[in-house]
Amino acid sequence: MPSRFRNFIPSEHFPAEKDRYVLYVNYCCPWAHRTIIVHALKGLEDIIQLVEVDARDATHGWFFSGQTGPARDPIYGVRWMKELYLKADPQYNGRITVPLLWDKKHETIVNNESSEIIKMFFDGFDQFLPPERREANKGPAAFIPQHLRSEIDTLNAWVYDNVNNGVYKAGFASSQAAYNEHVIRLFQALDRLEDHLSEPGHQPYLFGAYITEADIRLYTTMIRFDISYYTLFKCNLKMIRTDYPHLHAWLRRLYWNEGPETAGGAFKNTTFFEVIKRGYSSVAAGNGITPIGPLPHIMPLELPR
């Protein structure tokens, strides 16, 4: 279902401003994780406040539980995320989802669609960042460099349908036939990504030397694959770590990179394996028992021989 709040920063009603917007996230959610990674990669910590919504109730949705995040919303003191949606629109009766970008000035939701939130974060707040972090100054190292724009868009759309959303279609399939179809399509897509990453010009990242939007969007599904989707969503024809050498190397490079191109570890520092495993075990399998393996959660950068 499409997200309902689709405003952009900067715009007349929502100009770029420091300390005005709040990003609500949950660390299990792969869609929220995109926005968390871009927030970290761009160094927006002092410009856009990030708030963790750490729990979800089957009936009432996301809430602040005080377990890993705050016990109440630090802005309004409410306990349920639904209260923020209703503050923005008293008639709202759609899904209560993360991520959510909130405007403290107008006390409303700017946007709750992750693919649009990351676009705003890429360059919408660049005026507050040092010159070397501004997209316009990064040339080929920009997250969406001009010359790759249409290729990145095409890959993103295909990855969304077959991989990001593909695991959900398999995990939530309500018939055996639908499950079979989606799992087969998913692994065909992973096979194609493996081929893509074996081609010259597509290493070490999907489009060559620099991390792009496409890497970020694929990462949040791949890092959850072996530890959650393989078991809990029954996406178990192959594992990344044993069956996809190029994808596996790509994934480990992103995760373990703590250099300047990841702003000191934007992938690793925002990936919490236990949170992810616990989160999926309660949505998918239903009884909240978290699988122990596979261990380790991520293989080392240099594989043992």
Question: Which sequence positions are flagged as catalytic?
Answer: 29, 168
- Minimum gap (Å) between residue 128 Cβ and ligand GSH: 24
Q: Does 96 bind ligand GSH (CB under 6 A)?
A: yes
Residue-wise DSSP of 162-225: IIITHHHHHHT-SSHHHHHHHHHHHHHHHHHHHHHHHSTTS-SBTTBSS--HHHHHHHHHHHHI
- Please check whether residue 79 is in contact with residue 63, taking contact to mean a CB–CB distance below 8 angstroms: yes
Question: Does the annotation place 149 within a ligand binding site?
Answer: no
Q: Which of 6, 13, 18, 95 touches ligand GSH (CB under 6 A)?
A: 95
**Can the peptide bond before residue 99 be classed as cis, meaning omega within 30 degrees of 0?**
yes
Q: Does 97 bind ligand GSH (CB under 6 A)?
A: yes
Q: Which of 114, 156, 231, 270 touches ligand GSH (CB under 6 A)?
A: 114
- Minimum gap (Å) between residue 112 Cβ and ligand GSH: 6
Q: Does 281 bind ligand GSH (CB under 6 A)?
A: no
What backbone torsions phi and psi does residue 128 show, to the nearest 5 degrees?
-95, 0
- Minimum gap (Å) between residue 55 Cβ and ligand GSH: 12
Question: Does the annotation place 250 within a ligand binding site?
Answer: no
- Minimum gap (Å) between residue 116 Cβ and ligand GSH: 8
What backbone torsions phi and psi does residue 205 show, to the nearest 5 degrees?
-110, 175
Q: Does 113 bind ligand GSH (CB under 6 A)?
A: yes
Q: Does 171 bind ligand GSH (CB under 6 A)?
A: no
Q: Where are the alpha helices (DSSP H) in the chain?
A: 30-42, 81-88, 114-123, 149-159, 166-171, 176-198, 213-224, 230-232, 240-243, 245-256, 273-280
Of the candidates 242, 296, 292, the one whose C-alpha atom is nearest the C-alpha of residue 271 is 296
- Any idea which residue has 């316009």 for tokens? 136
What is the rounded distance in angstroms from the CA atom of residue 293 to the CA atom of residue 45? Answer: 33
The CA–CA distances, whole Å, from 28 to 55, 68, 155, 174, 291 equal 10, 12, 24, 23, 15
Q: Which of residues 28-67 bind ligand GSH (CB under 6 A)?
A: 29, 31, 61
Residues 6+ apart with CB under 8 A from 124: 8, 9, 10, 16
The CA–CA distances, whole Å, from 132 to 43, 56, 258, 266 equal 12, 39, 18, 17
- Minimum gap (Å) between residue 61 Cβ and ligand GSH: 5
Cβ proximity to ligand GSH: between 36 and 263 the closer is 36
| Stretch touching ligand GSH by CB under 6 A, among 101-109, 111-119, 134-142, 213-221 | 111-119
Q: Which of 98, 109, 193, 211 touches ligand GSH (CB under 6 A)?
A: 98
Q: Does 85 bind ligand GSH (CB under 6 A)?
A: no
| C-alpha 278, offset from chain centre | 17
Question: Does the annotation place 62 within a ligand binding site?
Answer: yes
Question: Does the annotation place 25 within a ligand binding site?
Answer: no
Q: Does 156 bind ligand GSH (CB under 6 A)?
A: no
Cβ proximity to ligand GSH: between 210 and 225 the closer is 225
Cβ proximity to ligand GSH: between 194 and 215 the closer is 215
- Please check whether residue 71 is in contact with residue 86, taking contact to mean a CB–CB distance below 8 angstroms: no
Cβ proximity to ligand GSH: between 99 and 145 the closer is 99
Interacting residues toward ligand GSH by CB under 6 A:
3, 29, 31, 61, 95-99, 112-114
Residues belonging to the binding site for glutathione are: 62, 95-98, 113-114
Give binding residues as ranges.
Answer: 62, 95-98, 113-114
